[in-house]
Amino acid sequence: MKPPFSETLIVALLKGLGKTLACLPVCLPQAISITLGDLIYFAPTRLRRTILSNLHHAFPEKPQAWRKKIARESCRRTIELGLFVLASPFINRKRLQASFTLEPFYRESIEKGDSYVILVPHFSGMEAITLTSLLFDGPIPDTGVIYRPFNNKALERYVKETRERGGVYLLSRKEGFTRAMEMLRRKANVAILFDQNAGNQGALTLFLDRLASTTELPGLLVQRFKCEYGVLYTERTGFWQGRMRAEKLSSELTTHGVTLATNAWLEAKLRENDNTCADWLWLHQRWKTQHEPECCLRLRSGRNLLKETLQHQGRTTLPKKTRLWVRMPNWLGDITMALPLIRAIREGRPDAEITLMAQAVHAPLLEALGAADHVLALPKKGLAYFLAFFKWRGQFPDRLILLTHSTRGDIEAKILNATASHGLTLPGRTRHFITHTWPVPTTLSLNTTHQTALWETWLKTMGLQAPLNYTPLSLPESSPKQGIIGLIAGSENSPEKRWSPHHWRELMGHLLFTYPNHTLALFGSPKDKAVTKEVAAGFDPLRVQDLAGKTDLLAFAQALQGCDLVIGNDTGGLHLANALGIPCIGLYGPTNPQRTRPIFTAPMLILQPLACPPTGGLPMSHLLPATVLEAVKNLQPADTLS
């Protein structure tokens, strides 16, 4: 069937361009490569981010200036490869032999007619491999090269004609690997471009310490036919010049043995010198095997070789090279409700280096709790606020999960420029600055679904499978119990959530009488000082301590750990006490405990006024001190207070 005119025209244009390039003085194609390569490197596009991100992940120990130098040169050599692909069919044999030499071992292998499975890495000179017969004076063994065919029929025909002029046979992936196996049976060679982005068809391994999907085809062929295998590559010596080298590899002739050995060889080559490193095509995203948004929070593959890879490398745990960042909520209560999700993400992605972005007031606490690998404190709001995100984007996060719903958080995500950013969308809201959104289903009641459960439902759509762990946390230096009952009488930004000072004072009088061996500690922020001062007025300061505004958040958490019991309004402090495993009594009135109650598995009682709906809605004044005192007596292990 005759190809469409448009396809024929494309081939005609490529032929014309190739002939022109082949006839030009070599300095002109070289200048084109430099110009177009620099354009790719300097243009603020996803390509620039990809290449710099790849190098930053692979060589974090190298200076940024070195990575930029390698990135720029790699862009130039990528264009150099493309131009050579076009020009090589029109370059005569004499010129090719002057430009490319055969390394002695490779020449000897050809002369002996050894049969090999040949692996070809993605170096800029890889196209020269198809021209071997034009570089060698005698006949070469039959060699088939497995390739991915083009949909353009005219282009496909042209590619076969020009590539097979070099003495190799192109073996289409679409036709399967029958011809490749036939060639190995008759002791011919089969060449394969080995890849670290083989999708779900490949084996999950490590490449440069990051998860990668490596093709197992070379290993399958070696294992089946028990043949030799090695790597064939062109060591670049100049523009459109190089030395073709072959290196025989040895390992157990098993699928995973060959797969791991070839990856190890390539890693060593990329670390060998700057010339070889810059020659690899870093522009391609070779580590996106686990990047599908529907399964990015778990490991998925058709075949998993991570155990074998770790044994091969002498490791016991996966290196943490997937940069997963989480924008934490702005309120302490929401932060504590998010911590079980961070645990589950870590379990599902043991390769993830988790970084939390949190308000500066919360950052020291998150660090002390060991909630993540890194904690970044958000700067103060002002003109310089967003400059921090421009700085952090240079760390090239792979994925950003936003547990915020604000426009400010979305702008932060846009500036940070992670490979993917995720957020849930509440009814009536739009989020234009993030790459993936999850609209809350209309079937899910926001009035009766707990905030943590809502986040969990959303993250399950991203592959989260690990069950949430609600076991309480602990600080590294836990305070011993000191016979203290903690009281959280304030509520920094919601006065309607505060129990009245009168009720607090009545309760405190009963507590001091009922538990004479205990002292009471009033906790709160600087904004709560007026409330706690009123509550503490007239009590013996030896038995009632007013600590509001006298501790930072970390000191507050340490003080909470010294309490036998904490009673508090619906505040972040109540959530924190629960997260630290302290028995708690939560006082709720207008707010909805079904949405925001503390979640960790420490003893906890939620008290509401009589006749209050489960979703809240009554004033705090309807909750009586006698009800709270009775709860103190009944809460286990409340009997230890007396």
What are the mean pLDDT values of the chain's consecutive 10-residue runs (642 residues total)? 70 89 95 97 94 96 97 96 90 91 78 79 86 78 78 73 74 78 86 82 92 90 88 93 89 87 94 95 88 90 89 93 97 97 96 97 96 96 90 96 94 95 92 94 92 97 95 84 91 86 95 93 92 94 94 94 94 96 95 95 95 92 93 69 59
pLDDT at position 509, please?
Answer: 95
- Is 623 part of any domain? yes
Our measurement of the distance from residue 273's CA atom to the centroid of its chain's CA atoms, rounded to an integer in Å, reads: 28
Domain membership of residue 236 (yes or no) is yes
Provide the token pair at 411: 């702008």
Residues 135 and 271 in one domain: yes
In a domain, 86, yes or no: no
Any domain includes 82? no
Q: Angle 529-536/501-514 helices, nearest 10 degrees?
A: 50
Same domain? 249 vs 341: no
Q: Please check whether residues 422 and 559 belong to one and the same domain.
A: no
The amino acid sitting at 392 is W
Q: Which two structure tokens, joined as six digits, stand for 163?
A: 């590539």
Whether residue 28 is contained in a domain is answered as no
Query: With contact defined as beta carbons under 8 Å apart, do 545 and 522 qualify?
Result: yes
Residues 401 and 517 in one domain: no
Q: Can you say whether residue 568 is alpha, beta or left, with left for phi > 0 and alpha for psi between -120 and 50 degrees?
A: beta
pLDDT at residue number 388: 94
Assign 421 to helix, strand or coil. Answer: strand
The whole-angstrom separation of Cα 303 and Cα 289 is: 12
Distances (CA, A) of 354 to 317, 338, 372, 376, 397: 16, 14, 5, 11, 10
Q: Which residues contact 194 (CB under 8 A, 6 or more apart)?
A: 119, 120, 121, 214, 215, 218, 262, 266
Give, in order, the Cα–Cα distances in Å from 522 to each of 11, 112, 114, 270, 393.
81, 88, 83, 61, 42
Residue 300 lies in a domain: no
Three-point CA angle 405, 466, 433, nearest 5°: 25
- Indicate whether 221 and 361 sit together in one domain: no
What are the backbone dihedrals phi and psi of residue 326, each rounded to the nearest 5 degrees, phi first? -130, 125
My answer on whether 406 and 516 are in the same domain is: no
Quote the CA–CA distance of 215 and 575 in Å, as a whole number: 48
pTM: 0.92
Do 273 and 227 lie in a common domain?
Answer: yes
DSSP 8-class letter at 197: B
Last residue of a domain, one of 398, 426, 460: 460
The CATH number assigned to the domain holding 489 equals: 3.40.50.2000
Question: Residues 452, 493: one domain?
Answer: no
Q: What is the pLDDT of residue 191?
A: 87
Instruction: Give phi and psi for 545, each to the nearest 5.
Output: -100, 130
Short-list 369, 346, 344, CA closest to 358: 369
Determine, yes or no, domain membership for 290: no
**One domain, residues 270 and 331:** no
In a domain, 191, yes or no: yes
The 3-state DSSP class for residue 354 equals strand
**583 and 440 both lie in a single domain:** no
Locate the DSSP E strands across 514-569: 519-523, 544-546, 563-569
CA pair distance 599, 337, nearest whole angstrom: 7
Same domain? 399 vs 539: no
Angle between the N-to-C axes of helices 501-514 and 625-634, in degrees from 0 to 180, rounded to the nearest 10: 40
Which of 226, 245, 279 corresponds to the end of one domain?
279
Contact yes or no for 395/374 (Cβ under 8 A): no
How high is the pLDDT of residue 415?
96
Domain count, the chain: 3
Q: In Å, how far are 243, 364, 423 from 349, measured between CA atoms?
A: 42, 24, 19
* 201 vs 215: CA distance, rounded Å: 7
Domain that holds residue 355: 322-460
Residue after which a domain boundary falls, among 217, 246, 279: 279
Supply the mean pLDDT for the chain. 90
Residues 560, 626, single domain; the answer is: yes
How far, in Å, CA of 313 to CA of 554, rounded?
40
Answer yes or no: are the C-beta atoms of 485 and 583 closer than 8 Å: no
Q: Which residues pair with 566 in a beta bridge?
A: 486, 584
